[in-house]
Amino acid sequence: MVVVRARAGFMTTAQAEQLFTGMIDDAILYAPASLKLADAVRAHVGHRLSWYADLLGRFVCNAVRVPALDAEVARIGLAPVDVAVVVADGISAVGAAVAAVDTYEHVRLRSVEVPLGTERLREARRALAPLVERQLEVYVEIPVVRVSERVAHELSGAGLRLKLRTGGTNVDEFQTEVELAVPIVRCAAELLPFKCTAGLHRAVRHRDRGTMFEHHGFLNVALAAQAAAATGSEGATSEALAERDPVTVAGRVRALTDPSVRAVRELFASFGTGRIPEPVRDLVALGLVSAA
């Protein structure tokens, strides 16, 4: 069970659970972890059996690997695994991919993630509408710099969600805090939920000592979502993303009120990482969660 360290005047256990439950999607099949499927499933099982299991969201898996995932889960004898299926081939391939996933017994389709390619957004909305009608969470990946006010409005109006790529293996896949603040503010204006993928392995903004890449922190993103929802200001949102002092970030998280916590999670749905122990260790080190 996830609990917060009790401190008078700060975040309650209920607030901590609402803020962190299901926040971390398991993307261990993807870089930098890139584990083999059998190893990835075993690692996922270990996380699910741990004290921090409530922090986990979905197991992220490319659509073409779902048959093997289903077989591996069946072989081990696990309960069905909740999956976020990535349809890398684009909007036109979503229907067939989802139909195939529906035939398997040992995976439960909870969400779909798909990049917007050359299709017009209107075409994408039409193609994805049946999934929204099924109440699946459907994330459309659009580059940070292409998330205009119109794009956010159309996604929200169609009941879709936004996937933001916040890092990668090359420096040009990362954005500055000013650049990332823009789509977050636009999501807040349209009540458009978003998730982040890549680069968010740590709680607080930092420069990786190995690559020297500047990484956003997932708690910074949470505070940025709160700032965007409360103020609509790109400046305030950018400032939340820029903060790199762990004590300051943790203090701001503890000070979130009930309405602020709800606003954060209604906007910032989750982030994917292949390094689940790292964000968990950070939350423990900051005194925000602990084993009951």
pLDDT at 78: 85
**pLDDT at 219 exceeding the cut of 70:** yes
Domain boundary assignment for the chain:
58-137, 142-287
End-to-end CA distance of the chain: 6
Contacts of 242 (CB under 8 A, 6+ apart): 177, 205, 220
Answer yes or no: is pLDDT of 4 > 70.
no
pLDDT of residue 31: 85
Q: Phi and psi of 204, rounded to 5°?
A: -125, 145
Q: What's the pLDDT tens digit per position in 86-141?
A: 999 999 999 999 999 999 999 999 999 999 988 889 999 999 999 999 999 999 99
Does position 6 have pLDDT exceeding 50, yes or no? no
> Rounded mean pLDDT of the chain?
94
Tell me how far CA of residue 278 lies from CA of 5, 88, 203, in angstroms.
Answer: 19, 27, 9
Q: How high is the pLDDT of residue 104? A: 97
Residues 19, 55 contacting (CB under 8 angstroms): no
In our burial notation (b when 16+ CB lie closer than 10 A, e otherwise), range 117-126 reads eebebeebbe
Q: What is the dihedral of CA 232, 234, 239, 240, to 10 degrees?
A: 50
> Mind listing the pLDDT tens digit for each residue in 9-51?
467 888 999 999 999 999 999 988 889 999 999 999 999 999 9
pTM listed for this prediction: 0.96
Strands 214-215 and 206-207: antiparallel
What integer is the mean pLDDT of 218-242? 99
Question: Is 5's pLDDT higher than 70?
Answer: no
- CB contact at 8 A, 193 and 159: no
Provide, for the chain, the percentages of residues in helix, strand and coil under a 3-state DSSP scheme, each rounded to the nearest 5: 50, 20, 35
Segment holding 68, helix H or strand E? helix 66-76
Beta carbons of 39 and 76 less than 8 angstroms apart: no
